[in-house]
Structure 1
């Protein structure tokens, strides 16, 4: 992920970095997987010029990057709702299985607690969200 001012000079620098990385690593860069987002303060003409110069798609926003939300606003619970949904889906599939109390404990410890770990390593979760996850596991 690169951050830069929306200028033709910055565009040249980014392109140089991408080309240098490709040469150094021996990897081909797939420009169809690259996109660019601009601040609302950037003029439309400049957006189009930078986008075409880099040869990448211009998008309004990225939902996720490496599996994590790229923007966390005021409604943190809504942003991380996908974790609750994933946990609920897993718990529902386990409910139909005949599991002992110990089996359920192991599933919760190993899998259910691992779901939010990656996101929690990057973002500070609010206590209410963590309590919701605990309650979901307790009902299982």
Structure 2
């Protein structure tokens, strides 16, 4: 309650208790729900509920959650008691679709200057993959343990049963990995599946040669074991490795964003 009181004092906005509610986990005990209700004075509601006209729910999507939205949209495309014909529906749809690209153009190019929602979505997915590959956050460690386990992130295949966030991250993996350049320190990153060369994961270019080898396995002290490299990788990779700076140390290799 102190947080709500601070918010009211700082913003000048009051919380309307009669219009407010709190939600709890389905397994919350009745005693806990009753205690929160008495403490806050808010009514208790269960999922699913509506917020700003959209359903809030836990678990899988059900058609029944969106029935009111479907009915509302349907009411807008009716003419009297009759539905618009197929041809009549096409006209407003085409009009909206044709205007959307122009609306995202800058004003100097006769646009409105709106940001593309698709571009924003892709940018957020790229940031998620970057945070995931850093593995410094608890969220990233959880995602790695759930979806990768003993596999390298670039080995994991797409599964229909995966979460929406993970699917979205996998959809941009092939783009982001080319920009993640690994800073070599103790040689702990994957030789074939991490982008330490600057030309992307080598396993994507030479899938038949890929293995679980680490970069450090191709080192001799503070320099590359070129005779071993020549036995395993193509000549162009050997030449590229010879130009790669090795800052040998005790810390783990880490991804860098070179831009």
Sort the TM-score into its range (normalised by shorter chain): 0.5 to 0.7
> Which secondary structure state, in structure 2, belongs to the residue aligned with residue 36 of structure 1?
strand
Matched, 1:92 2:107: no
Aligned to 1:59: 45
Give the direction of change, closer, same or farther, for the CA distance of 1:84–1:55 in structure 2 (3 Å limit): closer
Structure with higher RCO (Cα < 8 A, 6+ apart): 1
Matched, 1:47 2:33: yes
Aligned to 2:11: 25
Residues of 2 paired with 1:62 and 1:35: CA distance? 13
Give the direction of change, closer, same or farther, for the CA distance of 1:94–1:72 in structure 2 (3 Å limit): farther
Aligned to 1:108: 93
Residues of 2 paired with 1:110 and 1:22: CA distance? 44
State the 1:43 CA deviation: 1.9
Aligned to 1:136: none
State the 1:74 CA deviation: 3.3
Q: What is the RMSD computed on CA atoms of the aligned residues? A: 3.3
Unaligned 5+ residue runs, structure 2?
Answer: 97-120, 122-163, 165-259
Aligned to 1:81: 67
Structure number with larger C-alpha Rg: 2
State the 1:62 CA deviation: 4.5
> Which secondary structure state, in structure 2, belongs to the residue aligned with residue 80 of structure 1?
helix
Higher helix share: 1
Give the direction of change, closer, same or farther, for the CA distance of 1:86–1:72 in structure 2 (3 Å limit): farther
Contact 1:72 1:79 in 2 (8 A): no
> Which secondary structure state, in structure 2, belongs to the residue aligned with residue 40 of structure 1?
coil
State the 1:49 CA deviation: 1.3
State the 1:79 CA deviation: 2.6
Residues of 2 paired with 1:58 and 1:87: CA distance? 30
Aligned to 1:4: none
Matched, 1:36 2:22: yes
Give the direction of change, closer, same or farther, for the CA distance of 1:83–1:108 in structure 2 (3 Å limit): farther
Residues of 1 paired with 2:77 and 2:58: CA distance? 26
> Which secondary structure state, in structure 1, belongs to the residue aligned with residue 13 of structure 2?
coil
Give the direction of change, closer, same or farther, for the CA distance of 1:59–1:87 in structure 2 (3 Å limit): closer
Higher strand share: 2
